[in-house]
Amino acid sequence: MFWNGKTTEVSINPDAKLFLMHMSDAQQPSIQLRQPRRILVTGGAGFIGSNFVHHWCRTYPRDRVVVLDALTYAGNRQNLSDLEGVANLRFVQGDICDRELVDRLLREEALDTIAHFAAESHVDRSILGPGAFIQTNVVGTFTLLESFRQYWVAEGSPDSYRFLHVSTDEVFGSLAAEDPAFTETTPYAPNSPYSASKAGSDHLVRAYFHTYGMPTLITNCSNNYGPYHYPEKLIPLMIINILLGKPLPVYGDGQNIRDWLFVEDHCSALDVVIHRGQPGETYNVGGNNEVKNIDLVYRLCQLMDELAPDLPVQPAENLITFVKDRPGHDRRYAIDSTRLKNELGWVPKTSLDEGLRKTIEWYLAHPSWWRSLLSQEYQAYYEKVYA
Ligand SMILES: NC(=O)c1ccc[n+]([C@@H]2O[C@H](COP(=O)([O-])OP(=O)(O)OC[C@H]3O[C@@H](n4cnc5c(N)ncnc54)[C@H](O)[C@@H]3O)[C@@H](O)[C@H]2O)c1
């Protein structure tokens, strides 16, 4: 949907219906005059960031989108290759800790919104080497906040600017089987260097709202899955190992519980939060899909048997292998997204089975994408974690 710039006539992009669905009647007129945003997406070549860039370019084609990504092992230009040629999209390879670069981009592109995804994001890697997590997740977030604050003040502190910090449910620690799900008021209790560094960055973002009045938003989301997911994470790891006929390593007794959210539902939640979230607030985002890891792996095996022809080992569940548990492995995460539902009208649309099917189909259709990621570095990392 966009304003054509001359009259109040409105064109509706079918994908932008999402926007209207969440509006009360009173809110509709202002939305119909939505001015294009100019958004910086940090980490936009990673898993969720690249899905978000696809979502945003599709839904708001008149918006300017600038991606800032350092292209670490987890970042991949291929994740955005089908958007090459989109005039409103610019890709910049660079580090969020590079203050000069961030200052320049904000001014040069007259940006009004930051969607901050860039992070070191894998718990296992944070156990092997926590330093990079502190640098990117804490120092990098601080660098962005400071740069945005000074720019925002210089621009006259506009109400419409937004700084969205994309965070995780892991900051809340671990739940016992009978505990209620995490809400926005659950005390922080991070257990891994990854979650501790994300918790540190969440606190900084919160402080910038309370101290400087900067229009920040925080989302804490459960485990995502979907296209463009780097092979080290549970779901793509299992899909790829099944395709290669390799063992499926399941940590400990496999009874750890995660709440799974299809990545496109996460992107629609972030869209709603950017447009309608209350500055200074945090919003929990979850899929209402609590599943034990071992049950998830069995379900993936069944779906792979059904969807993938000529698997090297069938049934795929013959590949399941229990391995030594991850140190400090959180037992259960569960997210209560009632605030997002009641205040902003968002609910996830994709059931776990539907999302898993879509994800498997995507990996089956893109073998060159995932094969290119099985580098020596990846193999060495894999050996270290699962040997
Ligand atoms: N994956 C999940 O299940 C999940 C769930 C909840 C929240 N999150 C959060 O969402 C965000 C994105 O997660 P993801 O799974 O897409 O991560 P990812 O590891 O797939 O991608 C991270 C991206 O950030 C980039 N990056 C890393 N360090 C950088 C730096 N210093 N400067 C610029 N770019 C840098 C990488 O190159 C990569 O493209 C993270 O902040 C993560 O904490 C993830």
In the predicted structure, residue 19 carries a pLDDT above the cut 90: no
In the predicted structure, residue 96 carries a pLDDT above the cut 70: yes
| Pairing mode, strands 257-262 and 290-292 | antiparallel
- Any atom of ligand 1 within 6 Å of the Cβ of 219: no
In the predicted structure, residue 6 carries a pLDDT above the cut 80: no
In the predicted structure, residue 8 carries a pLDDT above the cut 80: no
Rounded mean pLDDT of the chain? 92
- Give the span between the Cα atoms of 137 and 46, in whole angstroms: 14
In the predicted structure, residue 369 carries a pLDDT above the cut 50: yes
pLDDT of residue 377: 87
pLDDT of residue 12: 42
Q: Are 318 and 293 in contact (CB under 8 A)?
A: no
Instruction: Write out pLDDT tens, residues 281-333.
Output: 999 999 999 999 999 999 999 999 999 989 999 999 999 999 999 888 999 99
Ligand 1 probe mutation, 120, 121, 138, most atoms within 8 A of CB: 121
Ligand 1 probe mutation, 72, 93, 144, most atoms within 8 A of CB: 72
Residues in contact with 319: Cβ distance below 8 Å, sequence separation at least 6, in sequence order? 241, 242, 245, 246, 247, 248, 301, 313
pLDDT of residue 32: 55
In the reported structure, the alpha carbon of residue 42 is separated from the centroid of ligand 1 by a whole-number distance in angstroms of 9
Q: Domain ranges for the chain, please list them.
A: 36-225+261-290+332-351
pLDDT of residue 30: 45
- Any atom of ligand 1 within 6 Å of the Cβ of 70: yes
Percent of the chain predicted with pLDDT > 70: 92
Catalytically annotated residues = 169-170, 194
In the reported structure, the alpha carbon of residue 4 is separated from the centroid of ligand 1 by a whole-number distance in angstroms of 35
- Any atom of ligand 1 within 6 Å of the Cβ of 136: yes
pLDDT of residue 132: 98
In the predicted structure, residue 156 carries a pLDDT above the cut 60: yes
pLDDT of residue 29: 41
- Give the span between the Cα atoms of 80 and 71, in whole angstroms: 12
Closest residue by CA, ligand 1 atom 36: 75
Instruction: Write out pLDDT tens, residues 213-226.
Output: 999 999 999 999 99
Q: What is this structure's pTM? A: 0.92
Fold entry, domain 36-225+261-290+332-351: Rossmann fold (3.40.50)
pLDDT of residue 387: 74
Q: Pick from 309, 265, 303: which is nearest to 287 by CA?
A: 265
Q: Considering only 12-16, 135-139, 143-147, 200-204, which range has the smallest mean pLDDT?
A: 12-16
pLDDT of residue 275: 97
- Any atom of ligand 1 within 6 Å of the Cβ of 142: no
In the predicted structure, residue 113 carries a pLDDT above the cut 90: yes
Over residues 59-67, the mean pLDDT reads: 97
Instruction: Write out pLDDT tens, residues 340-368.
Output: 999 999 999 999 999 999 999 999 999 99
Instruction: Write out pLDDT tens, residues 172-204.
Output: 999 999 999 999 999 999 999 999 999 999 999
- Any atom of ligand 1 within 6 Å of the Cβ of 71: yes
Instruction: Write out pLDDT tens, residues 20-32.
Output: 554 444 444 444 5
In the reported structure, the alpha carbon of residue 136 is separated from the centroid of ligand 1 by a whole-number distance in angstroms of 10
In the reported structure, the alpha carbon of residue 28 is separated from the centroid of ligand 1 by a whole-number distance in angstroms of 34
pLDDT of residue 130: 97
In the reported structure, the alpha carbon of residue 72 is separated from the centroid of ligand 1 by a whole-number distance in angstroms of 10
